[in-house]
């Protein structure tokens, strides 16, 4: 099937993920990498789901056993070759291929918004985490003031315009409510939105990192 007969989403995915244009690129890796590494600590078994080519994952491989799970086999091969990361093909729409309570920390960075069944995935993350384990990640938000103004003007949500592969559009409170169904939310950190977003994340935050715990 040539590009002319593919859907816009299919063409976008091929251009940005299959052909390698997005290899060695990660959103705010210089900020998220050290942050996630400090949250994870050392001596842990870490599962990074949807981490693609390991550009972010590399930040927390030191002194941890890290397994990178993704459906993109080409990206996994790159992660293994470039960073020496242990990899496993994982489809996040299916049960995770790991035993109950065997993982210390699960990372999902800029992934949940692409999934059709986020509650199913979060249930699986909860299952494979040990008691006291951590669920760490980041996600773009929708319905901040910029998005509300765009909708009033008859335009799409900003993130939907930028990336058509997004299936979920979370408000700040909705994200916390969803995470709280499965974990204890320990902290959030505004990644994008400016100083106002730190004080008023519901109105201005456009991307946040989160750290949750399994009791």
pLDDT(8) > 90: no
pTM for the model stands at 0.87
Q: Give residue-wise pLDDT tens across range 167-181.
A: 999 999 999 999 999
How far from 64 is each of 45, 67, 75, CA to CA, in Å?
A: 6, 10, 21
Distance CA 184, CA 204 (A): 24
148 three-state secondary structure: helix
Whether the CB-CB separation of 32 and 109 falls below 8 Å is answered with yes
| pLDDT > 90: percent of the chain | 74
Q: Give residue-wise pLDDT tens across range 23-37.
A: 556 777 789 999 999
Distance CA 132, CA 135 (A): 10
Whether the CB-CB separation of 40 and 57 falls below 8 Å is answered with no
Structure confidence at residue 22 as a pLDDT band (50, 70, 90): low
Distance CA 180, CA 38 (A): 22
Domain 3-213 has CATH 1.25.60.10: no
Whether the CB-CB separation of 126 and 133 falls below 8 Å is answered with no
């Amino acid at each position: 099937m040539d590009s002319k007969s593919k859907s816009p989403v299919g063409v976008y995915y091929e251009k940005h993920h299959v052909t390698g244009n997005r290899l060695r690129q990660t959103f705010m890796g210089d900020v998220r990498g050290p942050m996630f590494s400090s949250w994870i600590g050392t001596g842990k078994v870490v599962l990074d789901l949807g981490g693609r080519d390991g550009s972010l994952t590399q930040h927390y491989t030191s002194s941890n056993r890290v397994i990178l799970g993704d459906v993109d086999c080409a990206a996994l091969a790159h992660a293994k070759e470039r960073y020496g990361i242990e990899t496993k093909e994982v489809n996040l729409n299916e049960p995770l291929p790991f035993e109950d309570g065997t993982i210390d920390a699960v990372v999902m960075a800029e992934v949940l918004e692409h999934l059709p069944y986020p509650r199913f995935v979060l249930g699986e993350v909860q299952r494979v985490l040990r008691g006291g384990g951590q669920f760490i990640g980041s996600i773009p938000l929708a319905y901040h003031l910029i998005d509300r103004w765009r909708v009033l003007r008859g335009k799409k949500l900003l993130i939907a315009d930028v990336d058509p592969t997004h299936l979920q559009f979370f408000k700040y409170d909705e994200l916390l409510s969803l995470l709280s169904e499965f974990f204890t939310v320990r902290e959030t950190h505004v990644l994008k939105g400016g100083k106002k977003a730190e004080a008023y994340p519901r109105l201005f935050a456009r991307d946040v990192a989160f750290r949750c715990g399994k009791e």
